[in-house]
Amino acid sequence: MPSGYEQIYESLLPKLSACDFSEAAGRLGLSLRPDGGMSVNFFGREYEISSRGVNPTDGKPVNVNNRSVLAYYALSKGAGEPAFLYVPVANLTGAKLVFSHTNINWMTDSLGKIFSGDYEKFSETMCRLGGVFNGKLNSSGYSWLLEALPKIPIQIIYYDGDDEFPCEIKILFDKNASRFMEFECLAFLEGCLVRALSMTAETGDTAGWV
C-alpha cells in the first residue's frame, strides 16, 4: 500500500495530465520542453514535469516529496515576482500558528549538528545545490541565496556555534512565496531543502539518494 506521501503525489497526477504547460511555463518561469512538458532545476538536479508526472532526468532515485512539491508548483495559479524580502515559513500562513520556544526551529535543528564547526563543508554543500554567497551579516551570520524554484528564492543563514550557543542554520522564504504555494506545501519545500543539505553533505552528491 502506498505511503501517505506517495498518495499525495498520486492524487496530483490527474491534474498534471490536464495542465496547460505552455501557459504555466511562461507564468512560472519554467523552461518548456520540445515534447510539451517543462524543465526545472531543483536543488542541483534537473527534472521533467509532464502529463506523465515528475521525474529527474538523471534517472536516479528521488524522494516522493520532491515530486509533489514540483507538481504543486507546476499546477500553481500564482503570478507576480519575488519581493526579495525574507521571512520564516511560519510567517507565510494565513492562520495564526503558535510555536513554543522549544520547537520553532525543529526542522533545521539537525543541520546545526551536521555543519557545526565546519562552515567550509556548509559552503561546499550550498555551491553544489546552486547557492550563491550573499555576504557576512552584522550578526556574524553568513548569508546565502538559493533559487529553490523560479519565483521562490530562499535565504539560508549559517551561524557558527560558540561556548554559549550551538551552530544554527536558518531558512527564510521570499515573502511572496505564498502566491505560488500554500503554507503546507512551502513546509514540504523546506523539508526537501533540509534533506538536500543533509544528504548532499553526507554523500557529496545531489542525486542517488531518497
* Same domain for 199 and 96: yes
User: pLDDT tens, 1-24?
Assistant: 678 999 999 999 999 999 999 999
Mean pLDDT over residues 57-85, rounded? 96
Query: Which of the residue ranges 70-74, 98-102, 110-114, 116-120 would you say has the lowest mean pLDDT?
Result: 98-102
Residue 164: the pLDDT is 82
166 within domain boundaries: yes
Residue 103: the pLDDT is 47
Residue 1: the pLDDT is 63
Mean pLDDT over residues 172-183, rounded? 96
* Same domain for 195 and 166: yes
What is the rounded distance in angstroms from the CA atom of residue 88 to the CA atom of residue 113?
Answer: 20
Pairing of strands 142-149, 132-136: antiparallel
With cut-offs at 50, 70 and 90, classify the pLDDT of residue 150.
very high
* Same domain for 190 and 94: yes
* Same domain for 100 and 43: no
CATH of residue 144: 3.30.310
Mean pLDDT over residues 31-58, rounded? 96
Query: Which of the residue ranges 95-109, 112-126, 159-173 would you say has the lowest mean pLDDT?
Result: 95-109
Residue 94: the pLDDT is 59
Report the SS3 class of residue 154: strand
Provide the residue type at 206 as one letter.
T
* Same domain for 109 and 64: no
208 within domain boundaries: no
80 within domain boundaries: no
56 within domain boundaries: yes
* Same domain for 185 and 114: yes
pTM above 0.85, yes or no: yes
pLDDT(181) > 70: yes
171 within domain boundaries: yes
Domain tally, the chain: 2
* Same domain for 95 and 53: no
pLDDT(96) > 70: no
pLDDT(128) > 90: yes
Of 53, 75, 97, at which residue does a domain stop? Answer: 75
Q: Which domain holds residue 22?
A: 4-75
- All three cell numbers of 29, joined, read 518561469
With cut-offs at 50, 70 and 90, classify the pLDDT of residue 99.
very low
More confident residue, 2 or 90: 90
* Same domain for 91 and 150: yes
20 within domain boundaries: yes
* Same domain for 162 and 68: no
What is the rounded distance in angstroms from the CA atom of residue 188 to the CA atom of residue 195?
Answer: 11
* Same domain for 111 and 40: no
With cut-offs at 50, 70 and 90, classify the pLDDT of residue 165.
confident
Of 75, 101, 116, at which residue does a domain stop? Answer: 75
Mean pLDDT over residues 144-152, rounded? 97
pLDDT(106) > 80: no
Q: What angle do CA 126, 137, 202 make, to 5 degrees?
A: 20
* Same domain for 159 and 71: no
Q: Which residues contact 187 (CB under 8 A, 6 or more apart)?
A: 89, 107
90 within domain boundaries: yes
Average pLDDT, the chain: 92
Of 20, 54, 75, at which residue does a domain stop? Answer: 75
* Same domain for 114 and 29: no
